[in-house]
Amino acid sequence: MARALPKKLPASYWNAWKHLRIVLGFRIVISAFLGYWLLRCFFWINSRTVLNGERLNKAVSSGRPVLICCWHGRLLFPVFQWNRQNYYALAGRNKDGEIISKIATKLGWKMLRGSSSQGGSRAYMEMIRVLNDGCTLFITPDGSQGPEYEVKEGAIKSSLRTEAIMVPVSGQASRAWKIRNWDTFVVPKPFGRIVHVVGDPVDVQDFSDEDSIRDAITAAMIKSQEEADAWING
19 in a structural domain? yes
Please tell me what DSSP assigns to residue 234.
-
- Cβ atoms 155, 196 nearer than 8 A: no
31 in a structural domain? yes
188 in a structural domain? yes
Q: Percent of the chain scored above 90 by pLDDT?
A: 65
Residue 137, domain CATH = 3.40.1130.10
- Cβ atoms 223, 78 nearer than 8 A: no
> What is the span of the domain harbouring residue 199?
13-233
4 in a structural domain? no
| H or E element, residue 103 | helix 95-106
Q: Percent of the chain scored above 70 by pLDDT?
A: 85
pLDDT digits (tens, 9 = 90+) for 119-168: 568 888 999 999 999 999 999 999 788 899 999 999 999 999 999 999 99
- Cβ atoms 104, 90 nearer than 8 A: no
6 in a structural domain? no
7 in a structural domain? no
26 in a structural domain? yes
The pLDDT of residue 26 is 46
Count of domains for the chain? 1
- Cβ atoms 80, 107 nearer than 8 A: yes
pLDDT digits (tens, 9 = 90+) for 7-28: 454 555 445 444 444 444 446 6
State the pTM of this model: 0.84
pLDDT digits (tens, 9 = 90+) for 87-105: 999 988 777 778 888 889 9
1 in a structural domain? no
More confident residue, 175 or 145: 175
For residue 44, name the pLDDT band (cuts at 50, 70, 90).
confident
